[in-house]
Amino acid sequence: MNATDRTPADLLRTALAADPARPLVTYYDDATGERVELSVATFANWVAKTANLLQDELSAEPGDRLVLLLPAHWQTAVWLLACASTGVVADVQGDPAGADLVVSGPDTLEAARACRGERIALSLRPMGARFPQPPEGFMDYAVEVPGQGDQFTPYAPVDPEALALAADGPAGPPGANGREELTGSQVVERARAEAGELGLTPGSRVLSALPYDTWEGLGPGLLAPLAAGASVVLAPRLGQLDAASLDKRKESERITHTAD
C-alpha cells in the first residue's frame, strides 16, 4: 500500500511495482467449471489494453459516463480499472439511456440498446472468447481488445477529485441522478478503510460471492484487496457448492477471508 495513491489506477500501479507475479483476481464459474487466475501483471495488461480501447478507439474522455451492465467477473474488474485509468466514470448497473457508453454482457443487450453512444458487448465465455455471432449494434470486446497496446498513458492526468464511480448502496453522497457517487480519491479512501475493517494485509485472500452492483460487492470483491496488497477469488455461483466442496475450495485457494 502506498500512502500517496489517490486513484484506483494508482493502487494498481503500486501493486504492479510491488509484486507483478502474485495472483490478484481469480474467477470461478461453478456452473461450467471455469477457473481463471490473473496475476497483477496480466490483470494490468488487460487494463492497459482496455484503457487504450476506451481512449483511442472509442474516443472516451475524462468525465464521460460508462454504464457497466456486467456481473461479478474478472472482465468486469478489468473495466472498472480501465475506467479509473482514463478518468471515465464507471456507472455500475446505471441507466444506459443517460450514458455516453455502455458495456454489456450477453444477458443485458436489450437494456444496453438504450444507450445512444458506443456499445460494447462481452460474451463472458471462458477465456474471454468472442461471440459466435456479434450482436447487432455492438462492438465485440474480444475482437477489438487483443490488438490494443500493452502500455497505457492517458492524454491528461486523471483528476483524483473528479467523479470516478457511481453505484447503488452506501458508496458516497447521492449524485444528481439519485445514485451514490465517489471521486477517485474517495474510492481509495473507502477501499483502504474497508481493508482495515476486514483485517486485510498483504497476502490475504478474499473469497467473494457478492455481485458487483453495489459497494458491498465492489469493496471486498476488488477494491479493498487491491488497496491492501491482497487478492480476491470471485465465485458468484458459490452457492452451488455443498459444504465439503466449499471447504475444499477455501483450502485449495488459501482463503483467509470470506465475503458472501
The domain spans of the chain are 8-259
Q: Which of 212, 199, 174 is nearest to 256 (CA)?
A: 199
Hunting for cell 503500486 — which residue is that?
A: 14
State residue 173's pLDDT score. 56
Q: How far apart are CA 104 and CA 96, in angstroms?
A: 10
Could you give the CA distance from residue 98 to residue 176 in angstroms, rounded to a whole number?
Answer: 12
Q: What are the tens digits of pLDDT across the range 98-125? A: 999 999 999 999 999 999 999 999 999 9
Residue 234: count of CB within 10 angstroms of its CB: 26
Q: Could you read off the pLDDT of 22-80 as tens digits, one per residue? A: 999 999 999 999 999 999 999 999 999 999 999 999 999 999 999 999 999 999 999 99
Scan for cell 473495466, then name that residue.
79
DSSP 81-133: HHHHHHT-EEEET--GGG-SEEEE-TTSHHHHTT-SSEEEE----GGGPPPSS
Distance CA 119, CA 199 (A): 39
Q: What is the pLDDT of residues 165-184, one digit of tens each?
A: 999 875 555 555 567 899 99
Classify domain 8-259 by CATH number.
3.40.50.12780
pLDDT of residue 199: 97
